[in-house]
Structure formats: structure tokens, C-alpha cells
């Protein structure tokens, strides 16, 4: 299993969040959206070069800014 950032994950691929590289405020914000370490996610799309990253977590579809997505580390096969 490779550890890559959410930005590097290919569209329509699944991954599991293994680490969030940010302070407590970022972790709290992502947890309130249902994203935490150990959560399975699917990347839906990546808009543009530095645009938002759209992911599916459970039954929710979320758009994360490029900077936030770069701080979410996932394990991918």
C-alpha cells in the first residue's frame, strides 16, 4: 500500500485516510464533515490544476480545496 496525498490519488480510486497533516483546527473541521483517520473514501474528480478535489465519503459528496486535500494522506493499492 502506498501513502500518497489526496491530490495524487487518481479519480475513481478508493483510499483510506491514514494521516491528516494539519493542526487541531483542520482536524476538527474535517471530522465535522465526517473525515477522520481510518475512513474509506473515493475520489470522484479533481478540477483543474489547483482546483477543488471532489470525494465521496460514505453517502456524502464533499469538495475540498487543493491545499486541504494536499494535507490528507491516504493509503492506496
Residue 1's pLDDT is 81
CATH (residue range 2-76): 2.30.30.90
Question: Strands 60-64, 2-5: parallel, antiparallel or unpaired by DSSP?
Answer: unpaired
Break the chain into its structural domains and give their ranges.
Answer: 2-76
Cut 0.85: pTM above it: yes
Query: Please, what are the averages of pLDDT over each run of 10 residues along the chain (77 residues)?
Result: 93 96 95 95 90 95 96 93
The residue behind cell 480545496 is: 65
> Are 38 and 17 contacting, i.e. CB atoms less than 8 angstroms apart?
yes
Closest CA to 8 of 58, 77, 73: 73
Amino acid at each position: 500500500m502506498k501513502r500518497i496525498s489526496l491530490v495524487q490519488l487518481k479519480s475513481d480510486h478508493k483510499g483510506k485516510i491514514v494521516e491528516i497533516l494539519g493542526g487541531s483546527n483542520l482536524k476538527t473541521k474535517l471530522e465535522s464533515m465526517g473525515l477522520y483517520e481510518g475512513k474509506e473514501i473515493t475520489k470522484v474528480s479533481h478540477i483543474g490544476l489547483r482546483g477543488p478535489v471532489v470525494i465521496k465519503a460514505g453517502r456524502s459528496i464533499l469538495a475540498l480545496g487543493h491545499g486541504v486535500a494536499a494535507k490528507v494522506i491516504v493509503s492506496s493499492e
